[in-house]
Amino acid sequence: MTIPLELFPGFTEHTFSYDSTSGPVNIAYLMGGEGPPLLLLHGFPQSRVIWHQIAPHLLAHFKVIIPDLRGYGDSSPVISDDTHFAYSKRAMAQDQVALMQFLGYSSFAVCGHDRGGRVAHRLALDHPTLVERFMVLDISPTYTMYQETNQRFATGYWHWFFLIQPFPVPERLIGADPEFWLHQHMDRAGGMKIFDPRCWQEYVNAIQQPAIVHAMCEDYRAAATIDLEHDQADIDRYNKTIQPLRVLWGSRGIIATCFNPIEDWQAFSEAKVSGRALDCGHYIPEEKPTEMIEEIMAFFKNDSILS
């Protein structure tokens, strides 16, 4: 796939290849702007195009790097095994470290939505000297969300429990009618009107590729297994993030109704956690781009610790 570059004026498209611990991987990314480096990470079942209403407005203030996570969009899938390590947030975070070091950066800031927020969290934990500060969008910590699972959460986020089923059950069921599955999954509080038709086509193109669907399932299988093991090891060692952390969530989403994001993240952070709810659902970058630009500028550019 090739993304419609008219969505990202001022950006150029690149591919970074390296030998990861789980095998060779190609990371597709966009880059543009001038200033301190800011890494933007997308979530499930999307790709880097989620940032199209935000990234062009940041060009005068940041060097903006926007990759597809491994196995998503135009980044290559990797071979996984029963440990699911290849799609652990540790492995996915290492991709970002390798990319940013390849680009010559010894430290950077990160903003991640959904799965990208989980990668950002692991990045901050595993690489405290590299990540200066980070922002996560519409998530509570993975460990907390599994520990506090209840009927409301399991009903609203049923895909968390569907996608972790053994291969090839979810892969085959999604593959039977990929676009239908995608539509029913993404038609949430904001409705379908929030998605640019060109972005929607990117998401449809991706979900029709069995290798990408498998990668997405592996991402969730990792979250329910090896990611929890990594999280438990950090809890046992009292290892918490030390960077300033900003948390934003949709007031009409599951995170707002089932969790307490500030409290949840403060339990995993040595630094003060700030944040607020936005009047939207889950897909914050596409539902509230203007507020996101303001939040990014305040937190990353103006060095503000917001209330």
Residue 259 is part of which domain span? 5-301
- Residue 270 scores a pLDDT above 80: yes
**What is the pLDDT, as a whole number, of residue 305?**
46
Q: Assess whether pLDDT exceeds 70 at residue 7.
A: yes
Does residue 307 lie within any of the structural domains?
A: no
In this structure, is residue 306 part of a structural domain?
no
- Give, as one character, the DSSP assignment of residue 103: T
- For the question of residue 114 being annotated catalytic, the response is yes
Q: Which of 94-103, 110-119, 147-156, 180-189 has the lowest mean pLDDT?
A: 180-189
Tell me the C-alpha to C-alpha distance, in Å, between residue 123 and each of 8, 50, 236, 242: 26, 21, 18, 12
Structure tokens that stand for 130 in this block: 């590299």
User: How much is the pLDDT for 303?
Assistant: 60
**The pLDDT of residue 241 is above 70:** yes
The pLDDT mean for the chain works out to 97
- Over range 154-173, report the average pLDDT: 98
Catalytic residue flag (residue 84): no
| Predicted local distance difference test score (pLDDT) of residue 103 | 99
Instruction: Please name which of 246, 261, 249, 247 lies closest in space to residue 301, comparing C-alpha atoms.
Output: 246
The domain that holds 257 is classified in CATH as: 3.40.50.1820
Considering the candidates 95, 114, 219, 264, report the single residue annotated as catalytic. 114
Which tokens sit at 206?
Answer: 């991706």
Q: Tell whether 31 is covered by a domain.
A: yes
Residues 246-258, mean pLDDT to the nearest whole number = 98
Task: Give 104-128 pLDDT, tens digit per residue.
Answer: 999 999 999 999 999 999 999 999 9
307 pLDDT exceeds 50?
no
State pLDDT tens for residues 37-74: 999 999 999 999 999 999 999 999 999 999 999 999 99
pLDDT digits 0-9 by tens, 92-106: 999 999 999 999 999
pLDDT of residue 199: 97
- Measured in whole angstroms, the distance separating CA 277 from the mean position of its chain's CA atoms is 18
> Mean pLDDT throughout 6-31?
98
Q: Is the pLDDT of residue 180 over 90?
A: yes
Which pLDDT does position 1 carry in this prediction?
66
Instruction: Flag whether 249 is in a domain.
Output: yes
Q: Are 58 and 64 in contact (CB under 8 A)?
A: yes
Q: How confident is the model at residue 302 (pLDDT cuts 50, 70, 90)?
A: confident
Helices (H), the chain: 89-102, 115-126, 142-147, 151-156, 159-162, 169-176, 178-186, 197-207, 210-223, 226-236, 254-258, 261-266, 284-287, 289-296
Which tens digits make up the pLDDT trace of 196-238?
999 999 999 999 999 999 999 999 999 999 999 999 999 999 9
On whether the CB atoms of residues 137 and 113 are closer than 8 A, the answer is yes
pLDDT band of 3, cuts 50, 70, 90? confident
For the chain, counts of helices (H) and of strands (E):
14, 8
Q: How confident is the model at residue 20 (pLDDT cuts 50, 70, 90)?
A: very high
Number of domains in the chain: 1
Does residue 264 have a pLDDT over 60? yes
Q: From the CB of residue 201, how many other CB atoms can be counted at a distance below 10 Å?
A: 15
Checking if the pLDDT of 175 tops 50, the result is yes
What are the CA-CA distances from residue 273 to residues 133, 199, 228, 245, 268 (Å)? 11, 32, 22, 5, 10
In a domain, 243, yes or no: yes
